[in-house]
A and B are shown apart, each in its own frame.
Chain A
Amino acid sequence: GQNIDQPTEMTATEGAIVQINCTYQTSGFNGLFWYQQHAGEAPTFLSYNVLDGLEEKGRFSSFLSRSKGYSYLLLKELQMKDSASYLCAVSSGGSYIPTFGRGTSLIVHP
């Protein structure tokens, strides 16, 4: 099975930078996803990391270390609309169907 761990809740100030960590334990790792989910809505895709390193996409960046079973999502220049749940998901064992973590609820305040 898979074990995915991420903080339950984080708070940050508008305009600041926040890093949301995700650790996982799995065998046959394929890749790691980050999704954003606003309350009452479906998740939307943010990133997919397969290899070690940092991938930047606008204000959002995602980092992966396969040897450490660790990833983080970095959000820069935070905006109020970034208040949402951020889901870390891991696919493994030859399956492209990811297993989702519980999600990190991010609250951005003025």
Chain B
Amino acid sequence: GAVVSQHPSWVICKSGTSVKIECRSLDFQATTMFWYRQFPKQSLMLMATSNEGSKATYEQGVEKDKFLINHASLTLSTLTVTSAHPEDSSFYICSAIDTGEGTYEQYFGPGTRLTVT
């Protein structure tokens, strides 16, 4: 199956700083990637849809100026959490769909644990 990687797997940062998370599709091209956030014992909440070569589509309630998404190539999307605060501490997961398979199965990255102190 398709493989999606994320980097870093975990990060600790100080309040007010910015953190960049990378999401890569390793063996397929992904014109669309998705960014999710998951708080402990909660469901995956879609934050935004990342489109290669165009602006991301954000879900209602997600601040686009705080969560900057860049999808510069068919295999890489980045999420930058700007001016991070402790309430941004969460598990961030990206995913991509290999539309070439026609199943619309989402392949998830291993996730990034962000802790803001």
Contact = CB atoms under 8 A, between A and B. Distances in A.
A48 B102 CA distance: 12
A90 to B, nearest CB: 12
8 contacts: A40-B91, A41-B111, A43-B108, A87-B43, A87-B44, A101-B43, A102-B42, A103-B43
Nearest to B113: A40
Given A42-B93, A45-B105, A48-B105, A100 B111 contact: no
A45 B43 contact: no
B110 interface: yes
A7 interface: no
Contacts of B44: 43, 87, 100
Interface string B72-113: 000000000000000000010101010000011111111101
Interface residues of A, number: 20
Contacts of B93: 42-43
B25 interface: no
Contacts of B91: 40
B106 A45 contact: yes
A79 to B, nearest CB: 22
Given A45-B106, A87-B43, A100-B43, 14 more contacts: A33-B106, A41-B111, A42-B110, A42-B111, A43-B44, A45-B105, A48-B105, A87-B44, A96-B104, A97-B46, A98-B106, A100-B44, A100-B45, A105-B41
Nearest to A45: B105
A44 B107 CA distance: 7
Contacts of A33: 106
Interface string A94-110: 00111111110100000
Nearest to B36: A100
Interface string A27-47: 000010100000011111100
